[in-house]
Amino acid sequence: MIILRTFSKIYGLAALRVGYALASEEIIHNMNKIRGPFNVNKLAQAAAIAALEDEDFQKNI
């Protein structure tokens, strides 16, 4: 099973195209074999981290 989540709607980061996958180690290993070398740019990474660290927002979700 693979669970995919996006930051597009709940965090308002649609333009940055950020998301994540939850899966077994084996599946993630196979996904990493075929992904591109630069999945997420630095700006998108910083925005996603800031969104996850916003504790006040997290409490209101």
The boundaries of the domain holding residue 40 are 3-60
Element (H, E) at 5: strand 3-6
Rounded-to-integer distance, Cα 57 and Cα 61, Å: 7
Q: What's the pLDDT at 60? A: 75
Average of pLDDT values for 3-27?
Answer: 90
What is the average pLDDT across 20-40? 91
Q: What's the sign of the alpha-carbon dihedral 26, 29, 31, 33?
A: negative
Q: Over the stretch 41-58, which tens digit does the pLDDT of each residue have?
A: 899 999 999 988 887 877
For the chain, the domain total comes to 1
Global pTM exceeds 0.75: no
